[in-house]
Amino acid sequence: MASRKTTVPLLILLLSLFLKFLMVEALTINSNDIDLNKACIEEERKALLEFKHGLYDPSGRLSSWIGSDCCKWTGVDCNNRTGNVVKVDLRDRGFFLLGGEISGSLLDLKHLTYLDLSLNDFQGIPIPNFLGSFERFRYLNLSNARFGGMIPPHLGNLSQLRYLDLFGGGDYPMRVSNLNWLSGLSSLKYLDLGFSGEIPKWIGERMPSLEHLRLRGNMFTGDIPEQLCWLSDLHILDLALNNLSGFIPQCLGNLTALSFVTLLDRNFDDPRIHEYYSERMELVVKGQDMEFDRYCQL
Ligand SMILES: *[C@@H]1O[C@H](CO)[C@@H](O)[C@H](O)[C@H]1NC(C)=O
Ligand SMILES: *[C@@H]1O[C@H](CO)[C@@H](O)[C@H](O)[C@H]1NC(C)=O
Ligand SMILES: *[C@@H]1O[C@H](CO)[C@@H](O)[C@H](O)[C@H]1NC(C)=O
Ligand SMILES: *[C@@H]1O[C@H](CO)[C@@H](O)[C@H](O)[C@H]1NC(C)=O
Ligand SMILES: *[C@@H]1O[C@H](CO)[C@@H](O)[C@H](O)[C@H]1NC(C)=O
């Protein structure tokens, strides 16, 4: 009898302890969940939906862009701790082309550092000026996306930018009226763009971090500026398929980081210059014959 009387409260006590334990467990799991995978911010989710709404997406590439957690959507990456969208990568990887309009709602993604829209088909619409307002951009790739018209000088405001790829190609070469706007991009490591005119001397002076310079397939005229020799981290230099003249600066041979060089490919009609350049090439890429063969079609 006595033992039964004490058993019941003991059971209740144990049960309540167990329930408490369960609750604590549940709470910890929940807060862990939040820490590991901070949910998408509602305002940014709306901005992405509006962006999607403006796009033409015949193959349904953005069909995962539904539901409340935009951090799980295809091509969207968020900061783990804050839940802010930091990356939108919609590079086309298999002919599921996006087109249409790029909505200004993107500006609500205040923490965006990375945007890749390359290899899509925007059918000649111009690059919107507002892309120059993303103060945190470090990576912008609009190459081969068939944008039309001029590159907006507003992109020169992207002072944090490390990678800028505006290679036009094909039917929609992207053009700029001058390159002065570029001179504010002093942190650039990678630059690829279309232009006609002379290669600005200040590229060598004002972009000391440049590792990759690709001005292929444009209408550049005039000399290769000696100032390019100031770029001590330059690995890749590609000036092929332009209309350059003059001589290659001797000093390019002194750039120790330079491993891939393509200066020729119909740049020069004069066979003597061709020979001279071939000689310089050997000097520049000493010991790197394999890469030389692949990247430099003489
Ligand atoms: C989120 O955390 C994982 C694991 O720690 C890490 O690999 C990933 O780079 C982080 N992503 C971002 C956007 O910070
Ligand atoms: C930009 O995109 C193109 C095509 O998708 C790619 O080949 C290129 O490497 C990218 N540029 C950078 C800087 O990543
Ligand atoms: C961005 O660049 C454009 C064109 O170069 C300029 O008119 C505009 O004032 C700049 N905006 C800011 C916020 O610096
Ligand atoms: C190449 O540049 C020269 C001037 O240096 C010019 O006379 C010629 O027309 C240009 N070629 C083309 C195809 O534009
Ligand atoms: C670069 O190399 C050339 C020989 O090719 C040499 O005459 C010149 O002094 C070097 N310049 C520098 C800055 O090292």
Distance of CA 262 to the CA centre of its chain: 23
For ligand 3, atom 7, name the residue with the nearest CA.
154
Confidence check: pLDDT of 36 > 60: no
Alpha carbons 174 and 262: distance in angstroms, whole number: 21
Is 214 exposed, middle or buried (CB count within 10 Å of its CB: 0-12, 13-18, 19+)?
A: buried
Confidence check: pLDDT of 212 > 80: yes
Query: Using a 6 Å cutoff on CB, does residue 99 contact ligand 3?
Result: no
Average pLDDT, the chain: 80
Confidence check: pLDDT of 8 > 70: no
Going by pLDDT thresholds of 50, 70 and 90, the confidence category of residue 292 is very low
Closest ligand to 36 CA?
1
Distance from the alpha carbon of residue 131 to the mean position of ligand 3, in angstroms: 11
Nearest ligand 2 atom to the CA of 190 is 13
Q: What percent of the chain has pLDDT over 90?
A: 44
Query: Using a 6 Å cutoff on CB, does residue 154 contact ligand 3?
Result: yes
Confidence at residue 27, expressed as pLDDT on a 0 to 100 scale: 46
Handedness of CA 251, 257, 263, 264 (dihedral sign): positive
Q: Which region among 115-129, 178-192, 216-230 has the lowest average model confidence (pLDDT)? A: 216-230
Confidence check: pLDDT of 15 > 70: no
Task: Tell me which DSSP letter residue 166 carries.
Answer: E
pTM recorded for the entire structure: 0.78
The side-by-side arrangement of strands in the sheet containing 163-166 is: 76-78, 85-89, 114-116, 139-141, 163-166, 190-193, 212-214, 236-238, 260-262
| Mean pLDDT within 193-206 | 83
Closest ligand to 84 CA?
1
